[in-house]
Structure 1
Amino acid sequence: GKSYLDSLPQPPKDGSPKDNAAWWNGLTPEQQTAHLSLNAAQVGALDGLPSTVRDEANRVVLAEKRAEFQLRLDSIPPAPKKYIGLGRAMRVNPEWREWDKRYADEIKTLEKNLKGMNAIQARFDSTGKEGLPEAYLLGFDTKGGGRAIVANGNPDTADHTAVFVPGTYTDITQTEKYIHHMSEMWKETHALVPGQNVSTVTWIGYDAPQSIVPEAMKKHYANDAAPDLNRFMAGLEYVQGGDDKSHTTLIGHSYGSTVLGAASNQGDLRTDDIIAVGSPGMLVEHAKDLDVEEGHVWSQSAGTLDDQVPLGGKFAGLGGDTEWWEEVLPFGTVWGSNVPSDEDFGANIMQNDAESHTDYWRDDSSSIENQAKVVAGQYGKVQRG
């Protein structure tokens, strides 16, 4: 199989969405089938390929990894008793200590990834329930914190597309929660535009900070994620047929909004609207500095008592560019930079009824309803805050 695969035309190295599409379209049906069977992980990761193709490839990878991880987990022997002896003579069992040293980390890794994979499969199985459309797996990997890019509805044919970028603590274990967020977003948006196609995408496509201090106070996580997000958005635009084919909205929650800012700073961010939710800062001082037309940046924040992340972002200096010497100063020294919920930032402030930093996507909330109105392009219906 490997020798046959190696004989076929290979995907372009670091290809653009256009390059990737040209390679795929240049293959014969037999060659395409071979790549899907023998090279599924690489095919599923190529921006610019049709979503149906990426979904087919990534489902192969998901099935293989899910089986592999479950078999590995099932093969681990049960833990011996942790303690032996009685009363004051009770002590930690040396056999348990050896078992824990050998297997504990592996069990944690396997269970973490299986939780995310099972959540993806559960979304596949829920297609048709409560009106949910077909799901498309546009990206999947178990490396690092894990990757999962899941779309409700085919983005290639969508009139309205929303891409959700989550923030701190994001990894593959959060897949179920974030898929639910975007499933509800699909329902809310679809209800506003009957007869039109809607796609809402959960983009767990980067290694997010795993702590508030110090990781979420650093910029490099956002700067490292930005090229991947830009490539993904460029790929979506390409398969849709151009920037005028779908109204696109990027939604960044918490540090996810910082990723949006970094992507905007690094290149041509392919979106019509940006929604920053509970944002600690977008690495720019004003909305006009972001890569969308004036009036198309939106913000939601529950207020300092319920959501302290925007205040924390001001302390960390995530609200704008800082000098090199400011980067090495203690946290809290760089104070006063704008975040999207500040009036001076210049975003459209949207009403919300969130009661905490993680409450902006509560079912039937005004927070998610207002976001959906932006996703649907119905700006006049948005309740202002």
Structure 2
Amino acid sequence: MGQPRTRGLMARARRALLSALVTAALVTPLAGAARPEIPAPPPATTLSTPGLPSVYAANRKNAAEAARMAATHGDAHRAAAVRALAAPSRRLLAFDGRGAGQATEVLGDLAHAEHIAVLVPGSDTSLDTYARFHRAAAALYADLTHRAAPGTRVAVVAWLGYETPATVSTTVTTPTRAGEAAPRLRALVRRLRTEAPGAHLSLLCHSYGSVVCGRAAPGLDADDIALVGSPGTGADSAAALHTRARIWAARGSEDWVAHVPHIRADLFGTTVGFGADPVSAAFGARVFDAADADHSGYFTPGSAALAHLARITLDVPSEATRG
């Protein structure tokens, strides 16, 4: 008697939550206060710029101008965030200071890298919060250089190449932003294959970033795709991602995303939810241990999750996986 009743309660709870998500997505969009547009120059033209050092320099110059314009506009926080990106030590493969902003930053020697990790961020990542994203990339780069065999060259690409949804918003429950981002991620991967031919390439996709990776996956020329803190990918299984890449997944025991129901519904032309749980046995990913990581803890120095992500990037993944 207990099990049927429990299943019935769970089914009703899922239906209630689905109803709430649909209502949020279709009926009651959040009306947050609009932020005044921050002026910034158009992105630097680098397609004909020879060599990565020249590309980095052009984008740093553009970031410096964006910082100056933000300061003149009275936005000290944006000015400081962008000014940091304009520092001589930073390697910007792309930069756009307009709106929420976008940036693609390289840590390491991309042109000679044998192993490359691309970090794909989730919600609430913008130029204003970029320092947090950079810390994750820097932690991974430090772990990679520590674990790599002597002489092995590695690089990390922090890809803020799309407008991420806000955590508290209607867009975070739908694949719309992911659909817009997927072609840009594919373009980045093609560029990396040109800049570093033969490198082992891994996409490390966090939270809503895993939805982006799921949309970009079909035919993507990557060796590994790791999904951490994922609400789902929009696919019912790893095989349904239609990629030659190995698919990995992990979720920490303290990650609130475990309580997000793995449902997907198409209603009135809008898709709500992202389907199958990537860490479930039915999904078919190679599941690795993230210990007690919370939703923001997968790139914490010294953590089990970061260690596994580094091993995946170096193509020496731990044997402590299932799937």
**TM surpasses 0.5:** yes
Q: Give the C-alpha shift of residue 52 in structure 1.
A: 2.2
**Does residue 191 of the first structure (1) align with residue 146 of the second (2)?**
yes
Q: 1:224 is paired with a residue of what secondary structure?
A: helix
**Does residue 287 of the first structure (1) align with residue 238 of the second (2)?**
yes
Cα deviation digits, residues 224-259 of structure 1 (max 9, x gap)? 111111111111111223xxx100000110000100
C-alpha separation in 2, matches of 1:205 and 1:59: 16
**Does residue 148 of the first structure (1) align with residue 103 of the second (2)?**
yes
1:253 to 1:56, Cα distance in 2 relative to 1, 3 A: same
Does structure 1 retain, via aligned residues, the 8 Å contact 2:123–2:164?
A: yes
Equivalent position of 1:233 in the other structure? 189
C-alpha separation in 2, matches of 1:185 and 1:48: 29
Equivalent position of 1:181 in the other structure? 136
Equivalent position of 1:43 in the other structure? 45
1:361 to 1:261, Cα distance in 2 relative to 1, 3 A: same
1:170 to 1:314, Cα distance in 2 relative to 1, 3 A: same
Does structure 2 retain, via aligned residues, the 8 Å contact 1:120–1:175?
A: no
Structure possessing the higher radius of gyration over alpha carbons: 1
**Does residue 219 of the first structure (1) align with residue 184 of the second (2)?**
no
For structure 1, list consecutive stretches of 5 or more residues without a partner in the other structure: 1-38, 74-109, 126-134
Cα deviation digits, residues 162-198 of structure 1 (max 9, x gap)? 0001101111122111111111111111222221110
Equivalent position of 2:213 in the other structure? 260
1:341 to 1:327, Cα distance in 2 relative to 1, 3 A: farther
Q: Give the C-alpha shift of residue 370 in structure 1.
A: 0.8
Which deviates further from its counterpart, 137-146 or 112-121? 112-121
Cα deviation digits, residues 133-182 of structure 1 (max 9, x gap)? xx411111112211121110122211000000110111112211111111
Does structure 1 retain, via aligned residues, the 8 Å contact 2:293–2:305?
A: no
C-alpha separation in 2, matches of 1:302 and 1:362: 12
C-alpha separation in 2, matches of 1:271 and 1:58: 26
1:195 to 1:376, Cα distance in 2 relative to 1, 3 A: same
Q: Give the C-alpha shift of residue 273 in structure 1.
A: 0.2
C-alpha separation in 2, matches of 1:251 and 1:273: 8
Cα deviation digits, residues 266-302 of structure 1 (max 9, x gap)? xx322110000000111111112224336x1111101
**Does residue 358 of the first structure (1) align with residue 305 of the second (2)?**
no
1:41 to 1:121, Cα distance in 2 relative to 1, 3 A: closer
For structure 2, list consecutive stretches of 5 or more residues without a partner in the other structure: 1-40
C-alpha separation in 1, matches of 2:85 and 2:50: 21
Equivalent position of 2:82 in the other structure? 117
**Does residue 276 of the first structure (1) align with residue 232 of the second (2)?**
no
1:214 to 1:205, Cα distance in 2 relative to 1, 3 A: same
Cα deviation digits, residues 61-119 of structure 1 (max 9, x gap)? 0122222322343xxxxxxxxxxxxxxxxxxxxxxxxxxxxxxxxxxxx2342242144
- Which amino acid in structure 2 is aligned with residue 239 of structure 1? E
1:341 to 1:55, Cα distance in 2 relative to 1, 3 A: same
1:69 to 1:371, Cα distance in 2 relative to 1, 3 A: same
Q: What is the aligned-residue identity percentage? A: 25
Does structure 2 retain, via aligned residues, the 8 Å contact 1:273–1:292?
A: no
**Does residue 164 of the first structure (1) align with residue 115 of the second (2)?**
no
Q: Kindly indicate which of the two structures has a greater share of residues assigned to strand.
A: 2
TM-score by length of 1: 0.67
**Does residue 347 of the first structure (1) align with residue 281 of the second (2)?**
no
TM-score by length of 2: 0.79
1:326 to 1:372, Cα distance in 2 relative to 1, 3 A: farther
Does structure 1 retain, via aligned residues, the 8 Å contact 2:60–2:86?
A: no
- Which amino acid in structure 2 is aligned with residue 282 of structure 1? T
Equivalent position of 2:72 in the other structure? 71
Equivalent position of 2:63 in the other structure? 62
Pick from 285, 299, 302: which aligns with 2:249? Answer: 299
Pick from 307, 314, 323: which aligns with 1:369? Answer: 307
Does structure 1 retain, via aligned residues, the 8 Å contact 2:202–2:226?
A: yes
C-alpha separation in 2, matches of 1:378 and 1:326: 46
Q: How many residues align?
A: 281
C-alpha separation in 2, matches of 1:310 and 1:165: 20
Q: 1:260 is paired with a residue of what secondary structure?
A: helix
1:53 to 1:378, Cα distance in 2 relative to 1, 3 A: same
C-alpha separation in 2, matches of 1:40 and 1:51: 20
Alpha carbon RMSD of aligned pairs, Å? 2.6
Q: Give the C-alpha shift of residue 311 in structure 1.
A: 4.0
Equivalent position of 1:20 in the other structure? none
C-alpha separation in 1, matches of 2:224 and 2:107: 19
1:60 to 1:291, Cα distance in 2 relative to 1, 3 A: farther
1:230 to 1:112, Cα distance in 2 relative to 1, 3 A: farther
**Larger RCO (alpha carbons 8 Å, 6+ apart):** 2
Cα deviation digits, residues 316-344 of structure 1 (max 9, x gap)? x2xxxx6x447558x6xx79x31211111
**Does residue 312 of the first structure (1) align with residue 312 of the second (2)?**
no
Q: 1:279 is paired with a residue of what secondary structure?
A: coil
Equivalent position of 2:16 in the other structure? none
Equivalent position of 1:138 in the other structure? 93
